[in-house]
Chains A and B, each alone.
Chain A
Amino acid sequence: MTGSGEPPGEIAIVASGPFATVQDLGRPGLAHLGITRSGAVDRPSLLLANRLVGNLAGAAAIEITYGGLIVRFSHPGMIAITGAPCPLTLSDREIGMYAPVDVPAGALLRIGAPARGVRTYLGIRGGVDVPAVLDSRSRDTLAGIGPEPLVAGVRLPLGQEKSDPPTIDLAPLARYVDEPELRVLTGPRADWFAPDAVSTLWANAYEVTADSDRVGVRLRGPAMRRHLTAELPSEAVVAGGIQIPPSGQPVIFLADHPVTGGYPVLGVVVAKDLPLAAQCRPGQRLRFRPARQAVNGLPAR
Chain B
Amino acid sequence: MRILPCGDEALLVEVANLREAEELYGRLRRDPPPGLTDLVPAARTVLIAFDPAVTGPARLQALLHGMSPADVTSPADVTSPADVTSPATVTIPVRYDGPDLVDLARLTGLSPAQIIERHLRGRHRVAFCGFAPGFAYIAGLDPGLRVARRDSPRTRVPAGAVAIADEFSGVYPRASPGGWHLIGRTDLAVFDLTRNPPALLVPGTPVRFVAVGGAAVGGAAVAWA
Interface residues, chain A, with chain B CB atoms under 8 Å away: 28-35, 133-134, 143, 145, 185-189, 233-236, 238, 240-241, 258-260, 265, 268-271, 291, 295-299, 301
A134 contacts B193, C-beta separation under 8 Å? yes
CB–CB A260/B38 < 8 A:
no
Minimum CB–CB distance from A69 to chain B (whole Å) comes to 27
Contact flags (1/0) for B31-69 with A, using CB distance below 8 Å?
Answer: 000000111111111110100100011100100000000
Are A296's CB and B52's CB within 8 A?
yes
Q: Is B9 an interface residue (CB 8 A)?
A: yes
- C-alpha gap A16/B199 in the complex (Å): 33
Q: Which residues of A contact B25 (CB under 8 A)?
A: 32
Which one, B6, B61, B197, contacts A33 given CB within 8 A? B197
Instruction: Report if A234-B129 is in contact (Cβ < 8 Å); known contacts: A29-B37, A34-B135.
Output: no
On whether A133 and B37 interact (CB within 8 A), knowing A145-B133, A238-B47, the answer reads: no
User: A32 to B43, alpha carbons, bound, how many Å?
Assistant: 12
Contact A235 B45 (CB under 8 A): yes
- Bound together, the chains give a CA A35 to CA B45 distance in angstroms of 18
Query: CA–CA, A187 to B6, complex, Å?
Result: 6
Q: Does B130 contact A (CB under 8 A)?
A: yes
B5 close to A (CB within 8 Å):
yes
Beyond the given A259-B40, A260-B130, could you list 19 further A-B residue pairs with CB under 8 A, ordered by the A residue number? A31-B40, A31-B47, A32-B128, A32-B202, A33-B133, A34-B131, A34-B132, A34-B134, A34-B135, A35-B199, A133-B193, A187-B12, A188-B6, A188-B12, A268-B7, A268-B8, A291-B8, A295-B8, A296-B8
Does the CB pair B52–A238 fall under 8 Å? no
16 intermolecular pairs with C-beta atoms under 8 Å apart: A34-B133, A34-B135, A145-B193, A185-B6, A185-B8, A188-B4, A188-B14, A235-B47, A236-B41, A238-B9, A241-B6, A259-B130, A268-B8, A269-B7, A270-B8, A296-B9
Cβ–Cβ contact B42 & A260, under 8 A: yes
Q: Give min CB distance, A235 to chain B, whole Å.
A: 4
Q: Are B134 and A236 in contact (CB under 8 A)?
A: no
Closest residue of B by beta carbon distance from A296: B52
Name the residue of chain B whose CB is nearest to the CB of A265: B6
- Given A32-B129, A33-B197, the answer on whether A235 and B7 have CB atoms closer than 8 Å is no
Least Cβ–Cβ distance between A288 and chain B, in angstroms: 13
Q: For B57, give its contact among A32, A145, A189, A298 (CB under 8 Å).
A: A298
Is B198 in the interface zone, CB < 8 Å from A? yes
Q: Known contacts A234-B43, A236-B45, A236-B47: does B198 contact A35 (CB below 8 Å)?
A: yes
A29 to B35, CA, bound (A): 12
> Of A34, A145, A271, which one neighbours B199 at CB under 8 angstroms?
A34
Chain A residues within 8 Å of B46, by CB: 236
Q: Which residues of A contact B131 (CB under 8 A)?
A: 34, 234, 260
Chain B residues near A234 (CB-CB < 8 A)? 42-43, 130-131
| Chain A residues positioned under 8 Å from B134 (CB to CB) | 33-35
Q: How many angstroms between the C-alpha atoms of A35 and B130 in the bound complex?
A: 8
Q: Are B203 and A32 in contact (CB under 8 A)?
A: yes
Q: Which residues of A contact B9 (CB under 8 A)?
A: 238, 271, 296
Closest CB in chain A relative to B11 CB, distance in Å: 8
Question: In the bound complex, how far is the Cα of B128 from the Cα of A30, in angstroms?
Answer: 12
Q: Which B-chain residue is minimally distant from A34 (CB atoms)? A: B129
> Which A residues are CB-close (under 8 A) to B115?
none
CB distance from B119 to the nearest CB of A (A): 22
Q: Which residues of A sit under 8 angstroms from B43, Cβ to Cβ?
A: 233-235
In the bound complex, CA of A236 to CA of B44 (Å): 10
Cβ of A164 to closest chain B Cβ, rounded Å: 24
Which residues from B are CB-within-8-Å of A271?
7-9, 52
Residues of A within 8 A of B132 (CB): 34, 143
